[in-house]
Amino acid sequence: MDDPLRRSLLYVPASSEAMLRKAGARGADVLIVDLEDGVLPDAKDAARAGAERLWLELDLGGSEVLLRVNAPGAPWHEADLDAAARLRPAGVVLPKCEEPERVEAVAARLDATPLFLMIETARGVLAAAELARAPRVAGLLFGAADFRASIRASRDPEEAELALARGTLVLAARAAGIEAFDTPFFEYRDEAGLERSARRARTLGFDGKTAIHPGQVAVVNRVFSPDEAEVAHARRVVAALEAAAREGRGVATVDGEMVEPLHAAEARRTLARARRSG
């Protein structure tokens, strides 16, 4: 089966009917309807009720929809899970994950709903491998704002303070056979900065990047889609290895680099992803 195509994941505050109504037209592969930190405490109940009221009439374009609930232990968590059970989103995003037992409790409660875990604290990063193996976990999402605060980091222009956590997230996700999604880039008018941040995440192995503003979606989709040079290279790899195999050889040389069968699998994945990215 094809890998899911989740390049861009746009957070949409559930408290904004205007944003929700147009969200399907923003081009994001995934919309994350947010009941957590994008919504003020006083507005939580109204936001949940509003999202439920709108849910069925939303025009989603081609986007998949996840629901971000408040974290276990927060006063709105239970009511949010009840809403998730009624709405049956494509997945539930669980913030501030640190303890596998809490994830297991949510998994038991929402039978059959895929879970996407936010890793955004020091404890969460250190528990990422275990969290990723909890039942029905389909992906890990990195959140840099809470993470920076949790480790008392300051901000480096090259995001050096995030490197260890990002690498850990990708390792944990891959070891569990699930997906990894990078943090939003919060300076949402800085397109060049976003592009650098997204390229860095892609290089590290992330499958996609979350976004907080619709203006970020096109950049993220582009960065996480194979470009023409990558597609051409992938085609050359497949052709060269097929030719080599016909001659009874296992390896070939493409663009000055030795390639072997593992590269053919990678190349086919690139070609499939390119096809689906359009």
The Cα–Cα gap between 246 and 243 comes to 5
Question: Nearest distance from residue 212's CB to ligand COA, in Å?
Answer: 4
Q: Which of 152, 95, 138 is nearest to 118 (CA)?
A: 95
| E strands in the chain | 8-13, 30-34, 64-68, 91-94, 115-119, 137-142, 179-182, 208-211, 252-254, 257-259
E strands within 128-197?
A: 137-142, 179-182
Cα–Cα dist 118/143, whole Å: 7
For the CB of residue 178, give the shortest distance to ligand COA in the complex, in Å: 21
x/- binding map, residues 120-139, to Mg ion, per CB under 5 A?
Answer: x-------------------
> Does residue 159 touch Mg ion according to CB under 5 A?
no
Smallest gap from residue 213 Cβ to ligand COA (A): 4
Beta bridge partners of 11: 32
Per CB under 6 A, which of residues 23..82 are in contact with ligand COA?
A: 23, 34, 37-38
Residues 134-193 that bind ligand COA (CB under 6 A): 184, 188
Q: Which does residue 146 bind out of ligand COA, Mg ion, none, counting CB within 5 to 8 angstroms by kind? A: Mg ion
Tokens 């990723």 locate to 132
Rounded distance between C-alpha atoms, residue 103 and residue 135, angstroms: 8
Residues touching Mg ion: how many (CB under 5 A)? Answer: 3
Stated length of the chain: 278
Least distance in Å: CB of 148 to ligand COA?
A: 13
**The binder of ligand COA chosen from 123, 196, 199, 213 (CB under 6 A):** 213
Q: How many residues bind ligand COA (CB under 6 A)?
A: 16
**Residue 12, strand partner residues:** 33
Nearest 5°: the CA angle 150, 122, 163 is 95
Q: Is 219 in the site for ligand COA (CB under 6 A)?
A: no
State the nearest-atom distance from the C-beta of 273 to Mg ion, in Å.
28
Between residues 91 and 100, which has the closer beta carbon with respect to ligand COA?
91
Give residues in contact with ligand COA (CB under 6 A). 10-13, 18-19, 22-23, 34, 37-38, 184, 188, 212-214
